[in-house]
Structure 1
Amino acid sequence: MLYSISIWTIVLIGCYGIGLGLLNGLRAYPVARLGDRAVIAVWLGILALALALLTTGLFLPLSPWVGGGFFLGFLLLAFRSKSTRSEVATFYRQISAWQIVIYFGVALAIAAFVSQPVIWEDTGLYHYSVIRWLAEFGTVPGIALLFANFGFTSAWFAFAAPLNPDILAARASTIANGLIFLLAVLQFGLSLSRIWHKQAQLTDGWIVVCYGCILPIILATDFMSIILISASPDIPALFLVIATAWTILLTETAANETQEYTKNNQTVSLFLAIGAFSIKLTALPLLFVTGLWFLFRYSLNPFNHRWLLHQMALAALFGLLLVPFFLSGIITSGCPLYPSGAFCLDLPWSPDQETSESIAKSTHGWISWYGTPPEGVSPLRWALGHWFKEFGNKVMVSLIVSTIAAAIYLLVGKNRHRVVSRWLIALAVTEIVFFLFTAPFNRFVLPYLFIVPALAISTYLQSFKASELLGRLKISVPFFATGLVTAAVLFSILSVQKDYTRFIVPPPLMQIDAVQKQVNDVRYFSPPGKELCWAVELPCAYTAKGVKLRDPAQGIQAGFVRD
């Protein structure tokens, strides 16, 4: 726990400085509240590091020294700006001792929760293995030939690689996801505090409703809590959907209330959407709708065609941030959008067509997931019948109905935020339809199910000033802080279950006695039976076929090619 809290605190402080430097460089959100700028800055700092490390992985192993070098280098560049130094000083002067106590109470509770044993299968299957490949060798050509899932590219794996040093013996796989969850809880607390003090804006109510629904679902449901306690990129992708939609709402409400608009605010939302896509391909609709908003929202004036040209040029410039992501996919699998077969190249390390089709069906060919239907029965009807039997999917359908009802309320009722409502509705509908046709997993669609209902609820509360009910609650800050820390300490003590090393570091990943196998000149370790790789020594695979070393003299770090 102490390791997790220490790393989170260092990364949050550093990423705040890095992101603030980017905000000042972009001249975005110049009049936003300090707390909002802090949250945006931390997200920008995290994504800047993730994208920089993904790029560096093309050339170098992502060791803790490399990660620390980028962290300090970016921080020094950011602090060259006088405005950045001044704002950091102003922000920290406003932090009280009790707020620090509350922060460490929240961090301790979250650290205790994520310091449980990792049991999410995908982390054992390939997440942690990819992180270790990046940490030890960087991006390795043809690694998808060793095991198809190793070809999945994610900037989140690159971000996590330096945070998992060998000295910790596979104990830090949950650090990155715990950091994101902590950031979400802190933003939720910030918005709730503003409501208590009658300082809330529409965006605060929206955040409270969104996170008030999503955070308990993640903590209370076994499936989502298991994913949180893992190295899965699903968690940052989920919260980046909320962060991107929040910045769009922040931009539009500011423009609506002040009748002024700072065009550079849009670049932040686009940067977040690009970062989300580089972390998880499922964020494609998020990038698509955010890109349309970036290009056309303020470009419809026929006398302002220069704006559209400017936005197109800026979008192309920001699009270059995706080049390392595409290159990583080409290097590992020959496909820039792996596991999608779109734009694949015929390279010596490209998987054969049968393997590509198999991995594509396992990720987004959901109609084939339920087996072969009886003769005369439509495959779609057969798949829908099985899909709807699951309780979680029934809940998803009810939330989709809620989204439709909320959209009607926002578009038909008296709503001075109708413009932003249209864009957030477009975002939610596009993503929901995308997932229903490709991979209707609850965890992928979860944040989109609350975007529109949360906007309808927060708009209603703002219109009728019902949020003042929370403002009437008088809670002593010292009392709240003391209770929070006491509860966090008790929870952390109960969670260790006599394994007192967890007070220092999380428990290690599962240890498997792997069997050494060989195909051609490739020697690898294979877990027995249905076991997974987890923390098995590299290279770990399952049943490697038709693969050989790309350069036997250099070994596995040079990569693999087809036999």
Structure 2
Amino acid sequence: MVYFIITWTCLTIVLFLVGINLLRICKADCFDRRGDRALAAIWLGIVAVSLLWLTLSLVLPLSPLIGWGVAIDLAILSLVSKQTRSEIVAYKSIISPSFILGFFTLELLVAILTTQQIVWFDTGLYHLGSIQWLSKFGAVYGVALINPKFGFTSSWFAFSAPLIPEFIGNRVGAIANGFVFLIALIHWIITLTRILKNQARLPDWFYLVYAGILILVYFVTTFTGAPILISFSADVAVNFLIGIIAWTILSIFPKNSVSIAFISPRIIPLIIACGTVAIKLSALPLLPGTLLFYAGVKPVKFKRLFWGIAVIILLLLPVTLVGIKTAACPLYPSKFMCLDLPWSVPAEITQEEAGEIKFLGELAQEKSPIPQFILPYWNLLDDNEFKLIILLLALSLIFSGLIRKNSSGEQWLILIGLCGMAFIITQSPLLRFGIGYFILIPCLFIAGVGQVLLAKIQPIINQKLSRVQLSRYEKIVPLVALSIAVAIAVQNDVKSRWLLPAELPSVQVIKAKVNDVEYAYPANWTVRCWKYPLPCAHVPVHNVKLRDPERGIGAGFVNTN
């Protein structure tokens, strides 16, 4: 737990410095409350550093020394601006002993929860393997030939790699997901406090409901057989960021009109959306809504639309380049724009991986809801992702025709929710891939109702709960929470995790060799590689050899078929 707390504290400081400078560049005066501004900075810092580390993996390994070194350099660079320095100095007034105690207590509670042993199947199957490759070698040519799932590009694995030093061995915990959960929890507590003080706005109400549902779901599932929070699954980060994008839109909209200027607060949701897509492609439905929000509609400002598309292409370029390097496909496992390279993954394997998720190609069947006169043209589009892009653009254009110039920011959330639900339903994957889309619109409705109801009963609450009493509770609650955390921490099953997380599950492997590649694979298919030394495949591999035998596995692999 000590390792988690130290890492999270350092990470919070670095991400805050990076994010606060980005807010300054984006002229985001709409975040006028210090709490909102600090949280927006940290969330923005998460996606920015994730993308930065993913880009860095193209040329360098993401070791803790390199990853942290680059991030700290970027944070120091942020201090060059006098305006940024002045803003950071202003935060000194809120750094009190009670604040530090509360922050430390929350870190301790979340660390107790997330340092438990990881048992999530996919983390053993390929999450930790991908993180190991990135940490030791960066993005590796043809690594998907060892395990097809290593071809899945995620900036979340890049974000996690520098956080796992070699000296901890198999004592690996859910440090990345735990950090996101920590920030989401802090954000939720701040919004709850504002509601109790009658200082809440619509974005606060929305986040309270949205994040409250996710926090409860992820907390409860840690005590079941499917503790996704205690893993390196990117779904956790994606679902929280869906809500953060909605929160930023609601925060920005009433205070910012659409101008022709390229840099404006409206670019923030688009940047976060691109960063979320880099974490996982299930976030693609975020792009149409955030792009149109940035560009403005009726009339559409085509210059801003052009710049918005340019931002998307630029920020997602590292994702496509890593995909090409690892599997010769920019959107692996999709065959869309795949290249014929020496390290290309065999077509049947790519098809098998893609088959695990049902894309929009299924819509062209006899029972398709698409009108029959459109089907012949729809079937001409062989690439499922191209169909997906067309469908999302169509939904966006239809929605943009209905929206009014002076409409409220709530309608953008409805667009994102509709696009997201359409995406998830048509692919028929697990709900965990995009639960955020499904609760987005209901949470918006509940937030609006809650805001109205509280306005009516607030006088009664004020009579029963004075500001003096609330201030007293603010001092007592952290002490009570700390007492609870300490009581849990001294339990026998938690003592072993005081310094480092629980050990990963053990694995028995069979060592094998194909051509000049020496590797291992689990002796039992129900057991995964976890953090076994590289290269470790999930099953025996064939038709693969080293790309450059003199440089070893770090130089990559090629297909001999």
User: TM-score normalised by the shorter chain: which range applies?
Assistant: 0.7 to 0.9
Q: Which amino acid aligns with 1:244?
A: I
In structure 1, the residue matched to 2:512 is 517
Distance between the aligned counterparts of 1:470 and 1:133, measured in 2? 55
* Structure 2 residue 546 is matched with structure 1 residue 549: yes
Deviates more, 1:197-206 or 1:454-463: 454-463
Deviations along 1:419-467, one digit per CA (max 9) or x if unpaired, are 3222111111111111011133121221112211121122122234157
Deviations along 1:388-421, one digit per CA (max 9) or x if unpaired, are xxxxxxxxxxxxxxxxxxxxxxx99xx9995322
Is the 1:164–1:171 contact (alpha carbons within 8 Å) kept by the matching residues of 2? no
Q: Which amino acid aligns with 2:503?
A: P
**1:270-349 alignment, distance < 5 Å:** 270-297=270-297, 300-301=298-299, 307-349=301-343
**1:3-152 alignment, distance < 5 Å:** 3-29=3-29, 32-152=32-152
Deviations along 1:503-540, one digit per CA (max 9) or x if unpaired, are 11101212212111111211101110222100111000
Does the C-alpha gap of structure 1 residues 238 and 431 become closer, same or farther in structure 2, counting only changes over 3 Å? same
* Structure 2 residue 441 is matched with structure 1 residue 462: no
Task: Measure how far apart 1:99 and its partner are.
Answer: 2.2
**1:392-471 alignment, distance < 5 Å:** 419-464=408-453, 465-466=455-456, 468=458
For residue 540 of structure 1, the aligned residue among 517, 536, 541 is 536
Task: Measure how far apart 1:379 and its partner are.
Answer: 12
Is the 2:295–2:304 contact (alpha carbons within 8 Å) kept by the matching residues of 1? no
- Structure 2: unaligned runs, 5 residues or longer: 370-401
Is the 1:366–1:439 contact (alpha carbons within 8 Å) kept by the matching residues of 2? no
Distance between the aligned counterparts of 2:104 and 2:147, measured in 1? 41
In structure 1, the residue matched to 2:347 is 353
Is the 1:28–1:262 contact (alpha carbons within 8 Å) kept by the matching residues of 2? no
Task: Measure how far apart 1:92 and its partner are.
Answer: 2.7
Distance between the aligned counterparts of 1:335 and 1:416, measured in 2? 40
Q: Percent sequence identity over matched residues?
A: 36
Is the 1:195–1:470 contact (alpha carbons within 8 Å) kept by the matching residues of 2? no
Does the C-alpha gap of structure 1 residues 210 and 358 become closer, same or farther in structure 2, counting only changes over 3 Å? same
* Structure 2 residue 505 is matched with structure 1 residue 504: no
In structure 1, the residue matched to 2:487 is 490
SS at match of 2:497: helix
SS at match of 1:503: coil
Q: Normalising to structure 1: TM-score of the pair? A: 0.86
Q: Which amino acid aligns with 1:487?
A: I
Q: Normalising to structure 2: TM-score of the pair? A: 0.86
* Structure 2 residue 184 is matched with structure 1 residue 180: no
Does the C-alpha gap of structure 1 residues 467 and 330 become closer, same or farther in structure 2, counting only changes over 3 Å? farther
Distance between the aligned counterparts of 2:209 and 2:354, measured in 1? 36
Distance between the aligned counterparts of 1:290 and 1:310, measured in 2? 12
Distance between the aligned counterparts of 2:79 and 2:317, measured in 1? 28
In structure 2, the residue matched to 1:197 is 197
Is the 1:133–1:139 contact (alpha carbons within 8 Å) kept by the matching residues of 2? yes
Deviations along 1:149-172, one digit per CA (max 9) or x if unpaired, are 011111111111111111011323
Task: Measure how far apart 1:315 and its partner are.
Answer: 3.7
In structure 1, the residue matched to 2:389 is none
Does the C-alpha gap of structure 1 residues 331 and 16 become closer, same or farther in structure 2, counting only changes over 3 Å? same
Deviations along 1:342-397, one digit per CA (max 9) or x if unpaired, are 111111111111111100011336999xxxxxxxx9899xxxxxxxxxxxxxxxxx
Is the 2:327–2:344 contact (alpha carbons within 8 Å) kept by the matching residues of 1? yes
Distance between the aligned counterparts of 1:101 and 1:470, measured in 2? 28
Distance between the aligned counterparts of 1:183 and 1:157, measured in 2? 19
Q: Which amino acid aligns with 1:482?
A: L
Distance between the aligned counterparts of 1:489 and 1:214, measured in 2? 25
Task: Measure how far apart 1:13 and its partner are.
Answer: 1.3
Does the C-alpha gap of structure 1 residues 225 and 96 become closer, same or farther in structure 2, counting only changes over 3 Å? farther
Deviations along 1:183-231, one digit per CA (max 9) or x if unpaired, are 0001001111111111111111111111222211111135696111011
Does the C-alpha gap of structure 1 residues 224 and 85 become closer, same or farther in structure 2, counting only changes over 3 Å? farther
Task: Measure how far apart 1:20 and its partner are.
Answer: 0.5
SS at match of 2:511: strand
SS at match of 2:519: strand
Deviations along 1:443-492, one digit per CA (max 9) or x if unpaired, are 12211122111211221222341573766544422221111111122233
Task: Measure how far apart 1:252 and its partner are.
Answer: 1.6
**1:208-247 alignment, distance < 5 Å:** 208-222=208-222, 226-247=227-248
SS at match of 1:107: helix
Does the C-alpha gap of structure 1 residues 559 and 28 become closer, same or farther in structure 2, counting only changes over 3 Å? same
Task: Measure how far apart 1:62 and its partner are.
Answer: 0.7
Q: Which amino acid aligns with 2:272?
A: L
Is the 1:152–1:338 contact (alpha carbons within 8 Å) kept by the matching residues of 2? yes
In structure 2, the residue matched to 1:398 is none
Q: Which amino acid aligns with 2:447?
A: S
Is the 2:489–2:495 contact (alpha carbons within 8 Å) kept by the matching residues of 1? no
- Structure 1: unaligned runs, 5 residues or longer: 369-376, 381-410
Is the 2:413–2:440 contact (alpha carbons within 8 Å) kept by the matching residues of 1? yes
Is the 2:291–2:305 contact (alpha carbons within 8 Å) kept by the matching residues of 1? no
Q: Which amino acid aligns with 1:556?
A: I
Distance between the aligned counterparts of 2:110 and 2:226, measured in 1? 12
Deviates more, 1:417-426 or 1:524-533: 417-426
Distance between the aligned counterparts of 1:92 and 1:174, measured in 2? 31
In structure 2, the residue matched to 1:162 is 162
Deviates more, 1:439-448 or 1:103-112: 439-448
Does the C-alpha gap of structure 1 residues 117 and 466 become closer, same or farther in structure 2, counting only changes over 3 Å? farther
SS at match of 1:363: coil
